[in-house]
Amino acid sequence: MRLASKILCLLIGLTAFLAGNAEAKYAAYVVDAKTGKVFHAVNENTRNYPASLTKLMTLYLLFEAVEKKRLNFSTRLAVSRKAANRPASRLGLKPGQSIRVKDAVMALIVKSANDVASVVAESVGGNEKRFALRMTDKARKLGMSRTTFRNASGLPHRGQMSTAKDMATLTRAIINRFPQYYHLFSRQAFTFEGRTYRTHNKVLKTFPGAEGMKTGYIRASGFNLITTAKRSGKRVIGVVFGGNTSRSRNRHMKTLLTRAFSKTTAPMQMAKIAKPARSKESSTTNKNRIWGIQVGAFYTHRPALNIATDISNKYASVLNGGKVKVMPLRKSRNRVLYRARILGLNRRNAYRTCRLLKKHRKPCLALNLPSNVEVASR
């Protein structure tokens, strides 16, 4: 009976593990590359399989080896039988062949070649297991506290885990530590031994201002993507985990980046609103006033409408009603500040929503306004 019970428990545990990995975990994280300011965060600390996003750490350690002059871009790396037998995506290297560091870098960025990842791991770390330990150690030093690497490629391994936030941290580290190599991530094609390979990263081709970085996919992870983009001198990093398809993932990434840039190009300024003076009349329930929230103020109408609509949809269950309203306020020099508001709430829901937004580092101000304020449509 005891043996049967143990077997049953083992089967239940295995079933739970497989079920838990049968569906990828969605996460998204968007930050300012320079300041680290967070524009969007959903499940950013949830651990998931990074898939080929792993190769960014492989490249980090390769760049580090070049910087320390242990290698140079012309150094040839030997291809072992084990590396050559790595499954696709791969370059098709043969045992005994060699590849220059420069070509290895481009194969990892553009082709996401698993055989090349193993070649780099064996050349820099002695073997892939030791290299993976170095990857994890470097992750800890960079502040990636929830990341563990087991291989250099991102091929399936139950212990190879990371988060959207940790991957954004790694991306920032690459940009800051290796600015001389950062431009390589914008390459959409490279040629090796007479054959041209093209990038999987469609966002790099279709999103204005996109600079890099990396796609990733295994069945357990879903479709992952890291994108860096720059507009008007501002660089933003976007990370998406667990997309259902590459197309929907790309579309979602472009939406997140567009929203982030709307906040950087038109800095959010919370309008100062004086607190109503306390009086006997205001201490009682005042039917001549309404409650609402203000979630930002912009110098153009569109971002104000977008952010208010986004919050209205995302926090609908907490708001329990309310109407999106963009209210203009004329400033000096004929400039207009468009205030993003959700009006027609009750006091409790207004304060509750603000607490949730501030918890996620988003601005929010509870408002108590005269009831003659127009609460009509968007």
10 Å CB burial of residue 298 (0-12, 13-18, 19+) is: buried
Residue identified by tokens 């004086």 is: 274
Indicate if 55 belongs to the active site.
yes
Catalytic one among 25, 80, 111, 112?
A: 112
Residues with Cβ < 8 Å from 233, sequence gap 6 or more?
Answer: none
Reported as type and span, the H/E element at residue 83 is helix 81-84
Q: Which of 233, 118, 216 is nearest to 167 (CA)?
A: 216
Query: For 337, phi and psi rounded to 5 degrees?
Result: -105, 120
Indicate if 112 belongs to the active site.
yes
Asked if 129 and 120 touch (Cβ cutoff 8 Å), the reply is no
Query: For 76, phi and psi rounded to 5 degrees?
Result: -100, 130
Indicate if 52 belongs to the active site.
yes
| Cα gap 329→327, rounded to integer Å | 7
Asked if 72 and 66 touch (Cβ cutoff 8 Å), the reply is yes
Catalytic one among 25, 55, 214, 263?
A: 55
Question: Catalytic amino acids?
Answer: 52, 55, 112
